[in-house]
Structure 1
């Protein structure tokens, strides 16, 4: 019976989606929205209604990213229109022919004395992304004409205090279209903070709604039959009923839209108050909240369908953390529920009243309620649950698993039997009660649960996640040496878990890396020198629970250490460095180090303590020395000072002239009693240094002129000039 019903639902949805596609094909317009020409643009893409809906962290992140883009728009300083008045726009509309197109080339702003703008004939207005600003003084548009189309327009700061309908637009004409428009900061006294739609056969697509407010339908209130709303986004709207959308008609279709951070007293995102042929499909609901019922959706009415949608992190202060349903003969299928919560009953769904409800092929992960039914609470007994899965995360390394009150029938409790993967009955109990499984290994288990209700068996599944294990080592490395941090994800049998996201945090840097076919995820480390903590996390999936591991990362600047600039006297110094490994220990003997100085390269081996040395015998001068070990290079300065010095002298002609030369050792201390050789005018003189290291040459009877004098001690040679005036 359930399979036949599912087939009927699928065929019905297919026909609906085909009709929506035909309507949407009439317009091919830009999906960009913004508040002014310089504002951040939000793209609203129409989703594939037939796409499989799954819940995971990525879907929640995508919705949160969309919210951030909209917040960027809201933070613009120029959240206002400028240009001409409402009266000017009204005149243009009146001048436009029936079935004609009006293209806007400027913004329009409410001015004192203006009235709302009335459209009473078939017309298309292409706003070209211009702004219509109500200045919080009036409703913007009152549409009574049929076959009106609005596209690429931005409606902001509308405030309807004249009547109850539509903050920005009251739509009372038939066969209307709103396409690729945005609505920000609009307000209505009762219905539809942005749009109140009473006309039949309306179509609203690829629009965004941010920070709108009303009593019913913070963004949109819809009472006209055959209404279609698709591919729209709703963020931060609020109301008493239906934080984003309030629907009160038959033949209503809401699809492929996203709802983030909307809130209301009932129906945090959507309040559905109609019977017959209502369809909500392929939508996502993230972080919506209701003070009473239905954190995301509150549905009052029979003969309706909710299908193919995801619900993440929605909450209700009373019943139905994600969905509250009050009506019979309705279907809820192919939906996913993650991390929803109710402060009373029904963490995900539902306080389901009346009879003949069908709930099938849905998945439930980590939903909670304070009192009864972490997943599904049923107020009546005539609702059947089949082919649903309930994922259970268990404590790591434990063989005992407890499933806490997933399903609760208010007026009855049915016996349920549990079977393992091999078809063996492993436990029995009552559907309203908790169930405990013992002696389970740490792997994944898919347990079939069968309960008999009114003579029919209904099959659902408990998915007990297996343990996951992350393994990684501490890392020691040199800066930018190409070292990779490697982590492995495996199950309890050490089988690799491929294609899974690993979150890695190093200081303030965050990365997401997928595991390969062997379960490994690698990250090339490019942090600066220092000590870091690496936190790697796997958040779990439908099959395996989460795990995390903490490692230490130590990055050294270079293996070349203790290299210092050197100042030395001629032939009196050795330049040396110590080579260390990534753990900070010296490398020992036999490692090759290259020194390049004065255009020549020398290769030296390290000693047992990791030191490599080069004796410097270069002439006095300042040199740059380059040290290379592997791919690492360091540079230093070496200054060679002379041991033998003398100064040029200029003297007047006299009988005796004294020329001084000073000699020091390699430590700069004076050398005495050392013979210094002077050569002047072809003659050689040998003179010993005194205790101050000074040798004095006395020269007599030099004529006027300039003379070259050469001074030498061992291998040190210098030349100076003597000038006689």
Structure 2
């Protein structure tokens, strides 16, 4: 196969040489006129090259449906120009040799394209030496050669996709297209060798953009690249694409604080481009690490720390059950870690920093390292991914572990008649007399009397029995905050079990200036002001507020607008202040 590729390249170079001698040369400006004057089809009858009078932006194809047949002619950018800039068009290109572009041979934006039986040789650009593709640009590249193209990212092809794209690259060859390698030493003593290019043995760059919708898929059919022959595979939206350079030898040199060389060794990068060495014989502390590969090197101050043992286990649950996360971590560790739970199908979705579209976990909380389990209530149905993270300290390295689990619908495959819990979301002010009223019926909305329900709010479970109207009613005496509550029916000889999770929002009746730490300056207008409401959310017009500054108490009246102000005359400094609505004790 390698001999066939060599013969194909040799034959192509011979053909180019003959063309260069025999073909008449025209300028890119001539080609622009030919494109502009064509309504549908262009047949090239000479070679085209960039000359001093041409635009460095290349030949523009804008809002056209056009087919361009090259007849094996060349288009040469003389290392100065883009060859084609294609926007909002439908373009077919066949049997064209694209050479020596100075800023991509083709730059394609929001266009449909087909490229067949073409060659891209010795083209360069910062982004997309051979072809740069952006936006909603579905296309086909078939039986095409990419050779000796270069770019910082996307030496052969660079793609920024959005919209519903489907790109197929088939029966094509990618050889010796070069993007620069990057070598990085991290703070824990590892070396990472990688390229910006993340496809086809680091010859092609692919980036998903979620700004305008989901990106599409790329299919590679019978594609040869460097030492990989006739490969077929598919890249789907959301796939994590590896840009690491594997099987390369990295030199590690480690120095102490006196610049004494302690380690001088090598190791091979793994499939992710990561190489490391064993530092276990050294004392914990600070060192200088230099890593080298070929003409690349990187030097960093590193801290050698202990690896920790950190494991967890979780089991699938039913909707309404508490999730119990059991974990085990190195004994001497204390402090706080971080727990986060994500929907499994959204965790790997890239964010778009232009739109500040940063994905957030569905649940997160800190946890204490010296305990052995964590309880997480009220998770929604679905497949989830849980992470436990230890952030590290001066002795121990950080570590993140994860596991997937399911929250199954409650009541599946249970016998008995269906029972329905009608529980509302509640929104009220602190101290209000609104009650939580829950209706319990069968599936035909007939009330179910004398049924036992349990209601779990803020970690406390209350047992209630429905009255003759199928209702339970209970007062809500909670501090201002957001809460979820679980209503459960365990089932009986007639009706199957049922559960429902809803929300309660208790609004405060005293609202301060948004902070509890105040900084006093030497000026006459230092004060702290709060606004007070009654249990219906109406501003109070009388009463008092009690302020507490570092243990000293002050009472001030509430004015007709519901406001109470404490003037402050203290030495410059930072103070803690709290306030209490004396009408109901809300803080």
Name the TM tier (shorter chain): 0.3 to 0.5
Scaled by the length of structure 1, the TM-score of the pair is 0.31
The structure whose Rg is larger is: 1
After TM superposition, the score normalised by the length of structure 2 is 0.37
- Higher relative contact order (CA closer than 8 Å, sequence separation 6+): 2
